[in-house]
Amino acid sequence: QVQLVESGGNLVQPGGSLRLSCAVSGFTLSSGSHAIGWFRQAPGKEREGISSLDLRTGRTFYTDAVQGRFIISRDDAKNTVYLQMNSLKPEDTALYYCATSPWSRFSPAHWSQERQYLNWGQGTQVTVSS
């Protein structure tokens, strides 16, 4: 059974940084069996995919809004995927989720679509405010 636990959310000032963690159980990252995505949902808005990591190929994906500011990475020894968020803006305020897509289901061309992802964490809150 796949389980995901996000952590690292906090209140941070504009321009600051945070690192979110997604601890994975139920499969090992080194197996390359999944892709792992990061999504966020701001108040009153739909959930959006912001980054993903294909564990088999190592390919990373970013939406334009975070490209150049956020970095997705992995630590196979800890079975954890990270999202390093730099130069944070008030519009980055949201509940952040990680999710997994089995590699057989994952389509790189549609990496940001929720329907590809089957297992979700409970979310961690990021607030960017002065």
Q: Which residue has the tokens 């679509």?
A: 113
pLDDT tens, residue by residue, 23-82: 999 999 999 899 999 999 999 999 999 999 999 999 999 999 999 999 999 999 999 999
